[in-house]
Chain A
Amino acid sequence: MAQPRKVRLTINGSVREASVEPRRLLVDFIREELGLTGTHIGCEHGICGACTVLFNGEAVRSCLMFAVQANGAEVTTVEGLAQGNELHPLQQAFWENHALQCGFCTPGMLIAACDLLRANPSPTEEEIRDGLAAVLCRCTGYQGIVEAVKAAAGKLRS
């Protein structure tokens, strides 16, 4: 077994430090060591997108990275979106547009949508669908999700 290494990162604004084995996946580290279970684990091989987090501001699949690679990085998970009791505009729009049923994919959807809207504040419907193709939803049929992202884009622009 390889020697554990120290990881120090900023997650949702707070600095955390831990010692991890190099093969520890970032998503497992976030859930098990840091106790942030909002990020979900679906396929664990980079297909479903449930584990998507923001890594230095950009969306990545946290099941395809090792925790040691996050040393010095800034990570945002779904827990970091709301401001106190106030939902993030995307979360509010998901609620209002029935963009979730079982909710399993929602953390990944929200984070992927954050990155999409940061890179492209006024996406067309096709660009939204393209951007969110990285996350699989098995309940909604995506229509509500697309509507929610459209609504949130409008709110974030104003």
Chain B
Amino acid sequence: MKPPPFEYHDPGSVGEAIALVGRYGGEARLLAGGQSLVPLLNFRLANPAALIDLNRIGELSYIREQDGQVRIGAMTRQRAIECSTIVQQRIPLLAEATRMVGHLPTRTRGTIGGSIAHADPAAEYPCVVRALGGTMVVRSAGGERGIDAAQFFQGFMSTAIGAGEMLDEVRLPVAERGAGWAFEEFSLRRGDFALAGIAAMVVADDERCISARIAACAVGEIPLRLEQVESILRESALSVRTVDEAAKCAAEQVRPEGDIHATADYRRHLVRVLVRRAVTRAAERSRAIGR
């Protein structure tokens, strides 16, 4: 058999799951959709004492709008997010990014919480969460706390989820009125890991850019919010020259590493191209909504 042996638990509630997390200390892994963890098990790169399978916990799967936010349960499938009218209408950037998460058969199982807790630097969801300033709600036996996206991603596949805690819910602010969006990424084959990706949300009228939120994935250990790029765009007329200046700045800000798929320089080049495309498309959408 490919995976190493492990104890298996499939709790029916979050309370039971948290009790198990506490019982195993750091020795157990939570199994969400399994689209990243099971390959690691099959390769025996992960060797947990136990798997705590969250798939029977129905209470972790929901999408609802509340207090200007969309709240998504950690075990909500990517496919459910892709098809959700709330997501399409209230956080369209997330809907667009979801279509680039793996493939249809992996989105059937894959979950938003699993992707964010796994924190692969090339993943789309952490990048969207970072761009929009989302909040991750984690729960433990002692209660719950919210962690801002700026503090949540701490290093390569490493997050602020503490011992005895589990990710419970992801909260994303509803897109502001008139905001345009775009998620642009480049991968060698459709559905592969991105070599670089850019999430953009822009509010613009015919004269100027009112606000911009830009984040990058696959070009650093964690998803990066590109605040300097945002400030170049803000209040500008979004001329071709300004957008290119912002794109150039983005390429300087990111910290890609080279690997067998692409050199660091090539990834920087991609960032420049993708920022230009994403900002242009998001701004066009914003202007079209405003008209």
Contacts of A23 in B (CB 8 A): 1, 3-6, 8, 41
Central interface residue in A28, A60, A65, by most chain B CB within 10 Å = A60
What 1/0 flags go to A5-18 for Cβ under 8 Å of B? 10000000000000
Contacts of B191 in A (CB 8 A): 133-134
Contacts of A45 in B (CB 8 A): 38-39, 42-43
Identify the stretch in B101-109, B175-183, B196-204, B209-217 within 8 Å (CB) of chain A at 4 or more residues: B101-109
A52 adjacent to chain B (CB < 8 Å): yes
Residue pair A60, B108 in contact (C-beta under 8 Å): yes
Per the bound structure, the CA–CA distance linking A116 and B3 in Å amounts to 30
Number of A-B contacts (CB under 8 A): 94
Contacts of B6 in A (CB 8 A): 2, 22-23
B241 adjacent to chain A (CB < 8 Å): no
Min Cβ gap A2→B in Å is 5
B253 adjacent to chain A (CB < 8 Å): no
Residue pair A44, B10 in contact (C-beta under 8 Å): no
A74 adjacent to chain B (CB < 8 Å): no
B159 adjacent to chain A (CB < 8 Å): no
User: Which single residue of chain A is at the shortest CB-CB distance from B50?
Assistant: A2
**Known contacts A49-B105, A69-B55, A133-B191: does B1 contact A28 (CB below 8 Å)?**
yes
B34 adjacent to chain A (CB < 8 Å): yes
A102 adjacent to chain B (CB < 8 Å): no
Residue pair B10, A60 in contact (C-beta under 8 Å): no
Contacts of B51 in A (CB 8 A): 22
B2 adjacent to chain A (CB < 8 Å): yes
**Known contacts A45-B43, A133-B189, A133-B190: does B104 contact A112 (CB below 8 Å)?**
yes
Chain B residues with a Cβ closer than 8 Å to the other chain, count: 30
**Known contacts A46-B106, A133-B103: does B8 contact A2 (CB below 8 Å)?**
yes
Q: Is the interface of A mostly helix, strand, loop or mixed?
A: mixed
Query: Which listed residue (A28, A65, A68, A115) contacts B109, Cβ 8 A?
Result: A65
Per the bound structure, the CA–CA distance linking A61 and B102 in Å amounts to 12
B35 adjacent to chain A (CB < 8 Å): yes
Residue pair A69, B53 in contact (C-beta under 8 Å): yes
Query: Which listed residue (A59, A66, A68) contacts B105, Cβ 8 A?
Result: A59
B7 adjacent to chain A (CB < 8 Å): yes
User: Which single residue of chain B is at the shortest CB-CB distance from A134?
Assistant: B103
Residue pair B35, A24 in contact (C-beta under 8 Å): no
**Known contacts A59-B104, A69-B55, A134-B105: does B8 contact A64 (CB below 8 Å)?**
no
Min Cβ gap A123→B in Å is 11
Within 8 A of A (CB), among B34-86: 34-35, 38-39, 41-43, 51, 53, 55, 79
Query: Which B residues fall within an 8 A CB radius of A?
Result: 1-8, 10, 34-35, 38-39, 41-43, 51, 53, 55, 79, 102-106, 108-109, 189-191
A-B interface, 7 closest residue pairs, ranked by CB to CB distance from nearest: A134-B103, A22-B8, A45-B39, A133-B190, A59-B105, A64-B38, A23-B3
24 contacts between A and B (CB under 8 A): A1-B5, A2-B6, A23-B3, A23-B41, A24-B1, A46-B39, A52-B105, A59-B105, A60-B105, A60-B108, A60-B109, A63-B38, A64-B35, A64-B39, A64-B106, A64-B109, A65-B109, A66-B8, A66-B38, A69-B10, A119-B104, A130-B190, A133-B103, A134-B106
Q: A44-B2, A59-B108, A134-B106 are in contact. List 4 more A-B contacts (CB 8 A).
A: A2-B7, A65-B109, A116-B104, A129-B190
